[in-house]
Amino acid sequence: MIVTRRQLADGREIIYFDDPATTGSRAAPFTRTATDRRDLPAVVTDSQCRRDPLTGEWVVIAAHRQDRTYLPAADLCPLCPSAPGRPTEVPEPSYQVVALENRFASLGTSSAVPAPDAVPAADLRPGVGRCEVVCFTSEHRLTFAELDPRRVRLVVDAWAQRTAELGARADVAQVFCFENHGEEIGVTLHHPHGQVYAYPFVPPRVRTVLEQARHHEESTGRNLFADVLAAERAGPRVVAANEHWTAFVPAASRWPHEVQLFPHRQVPDLPALTDAERDALVPVYLDVLGRFAHRFDTPMPYVAAWNQAPTGRCWDAAGPGPGAGPGAGRQRWWLHLQLFSFRRTAEKLKYLAGSESGMGVFVSDTNPETVAAQLRAVALP
């Protein structure tokens, strides 16, 4: 993989990822040289992290994002390559995979410091971190499910590179790679892209799972993730699998359509995957995305969320959980992907109503075993 770093006109970083086998001539080193000549104002990230004293969970306050770009026409897409007379966020006339700092970031290098009496000091932190946009292709009308396997492999390598680099920062406790797909999910740009969030705290889901893993290890002496994977591989909910990966509908699915992808070897994050494991991820992931795309007459909207181990650093006074030392989370964690859709039928969506939104108790409208059978039965093109 060839990595090229450049700067946009307002100082944000843009990073190009290219497959050396498809970059043309080998006679000279491959470079990206286009310059962003737009007249852009400086980015102002007015973010705070406030801890809910009742739940102990951190909430990011980022009111400056209200004016972010919202569903522009294809000829005004800011993530397409630049063209004569039409500069975009990507100065090059074409690209393979690119990551750039989000102009409308939830977290950033600068943050607002409110008046001391606005929020108790124990419940307030700067909204520092980093938010990036990852463009999977320069082709505006493609979806991730339609990418060729070689491009998907490059995306996996880009995710891993960003995870390793951002995870090494002293102010980052968790690196989260994800894709929101479909207007129903809330995407604001149609161009095929995902995001990377580098949080300064460990998110609620990871904290909860780590606590469950600790309890399981203390009571059984075994790894929770390993036991879950072994049970699912032997059960009726497997959707796709190969030598290195298994994709299954979890027994306690929260969402109408939900699949989790686990590597067969325990690794904490994407950078820890071997080349063989990264290669093997591609067909399983594309298989499952294809089933989501063809389960109904129109593709299902979805969220694809990589659950990686925390870095072991966290400014949260509560720490990563009772009895969990700085490195315990990484030692127990098992990388996995959550892929889920809000769609419960061809025409109906799952809404988070009273029980889900008010109490956090999900009531499923579908049966996990039935969903797994329906996804296996999807005829892929």
Q: Is 74 helix (H, G, I), strand (E, B) or coil?
A: helix
Q: In whole angstroms, what is the distance from residue 361 CA to residue 352 CA?
A: 10
* Contact indicator for 132, 196 with CB cutoff of 8 Å: yes
Q: Is the distance from CB of 35 to CB of 91 less than 8 angstroms?
A: yes
Is 193 an active-site residue?
Answer: yes
Burial of 55 (0-12, 13-18, 19+ CB in 10 A): exposed
Tokens linked to 64: 């400056």
Residue ranges of alpha helices (H) inside 234-312 are: 275-294
Burial bucket for residue 93 (CB in 10 Å: 0-12, 13-18, 19+): exposed
For residue 167, which of 327, 325, 329, 309 has the smallest C-alpha distance? 309
- Identify the active-site residue in 190, 193, 216, 244: 193
What residues act catalytically? 193
